[in-house]
Amino acid sequence: MRVITVDLYEHFGVNKPQGARGKLTAYVNDYRIDRLRPAMLIVPGGGYSFCSEREREPIANYYIAEGFQSFTLDYSVAPVKYPQQLIEGCMAVAYIKENAEKFYVDKNHVATIGFSAGGHLAGMLATITDEQVVKDALKEKASLAKPDAVILAYPVITLVGKAHQATGDNLCGEDIKLKEYLSLDKRVTPSSVPAFIWSTVNDQIVPVESSLYMAAAYRENGVPFELHIFEDGIHGLSLANEEVDSVNVPVQAWKGACATWLKSRGFELIKRSI
């Protein structure tokens, strides 16, 4: 296996603000180069104040075992504000698609999974990759910025009302209009990316309403989605197993359900000519 880290700003020739991160790590399984694999871009949570390790390599390893090429995004956090996080996410997806042949990736099956605040960033990739700031940064490569599916795990969706206040503050400061603008249930359109959404009823950090609002918006706009709400579980469960020190056996079912959903959308190994 090859492990490669790239500075996305440097790769795309985009000006890098002070304090910005924007680094992508690729975990490339080249054991069978006669196969093309779907790709999974992993966006850890952390309230836009840090990037959680529990939602980084353990998730990458899981999707490698499921036949994916895994990529983890180290994105900018406070005090760096929007739109850098969106730009970095778009650069990550574009980089994977642009280098699909190099990584033995099926460029038509690139998914993104985001946890908590990372779910908000993944949600932005599902809904607003056509923002002018993205076009200005990536220029002609902006067309590569949209993933083909997203998984939103206990995601922050709304930044107003029943929201995780600190996440909105870290991303937007005190700009209430920006928080409303980036409440993603208001940004879903018929061209948004299909989504698998899961959360728990008694999440005490990110209210379950975020997932419900997003599912309702998907339903209203006719975009394919699947929603799983588990009765019990703390915030930040990740894989919900011993690997991440948060064992919750019922919640572990999200992985199998998500795998089935992804396969139904064509996220499988395919033969390639070499």
Supply the CATH number for residue 105's domain: 3.40.50.1820
Question: Residue 273 — pLDDT band, cuts 50, 70, 90?
Answer: low
Residue-number span of the structural domain to which 47 is assigned? 2-271
Distant-in-sequence, close-in-space partners of 111: CB < 8 Å, separation ≥ 6: 38, 39, 40, 41, 68, 147, 148, 149, 150, 151, 262, 267
Instruction: Report the alpha-carbon distance of residue 136 to residue 266 in Å, rounded.
Output: 32
> Which pLDDT belongs to residue 116?
98
Is the per-residue pLDDT at 118 higher than 70? yes
> Which pLDDT belongs to residue 34?
85
Instruction: Report the alpha-carbon distance of residue 239 to residue 242 in Å, rounded.
Output: 8
Query: How confident is the model over 11-20, as pLDDT tens digits?
Result: 999 999 999 9
- Output the pTM of the full model: 0.97
Give the other-Cβ count within 10 Å of 180's Cβ. 15
What value does the mean pLDDT take over residues 57-86?
97
Domain count along the chain: 1
Residues in the chain: 274
Is the per-residue pLDDT at 274 higher than 70? no
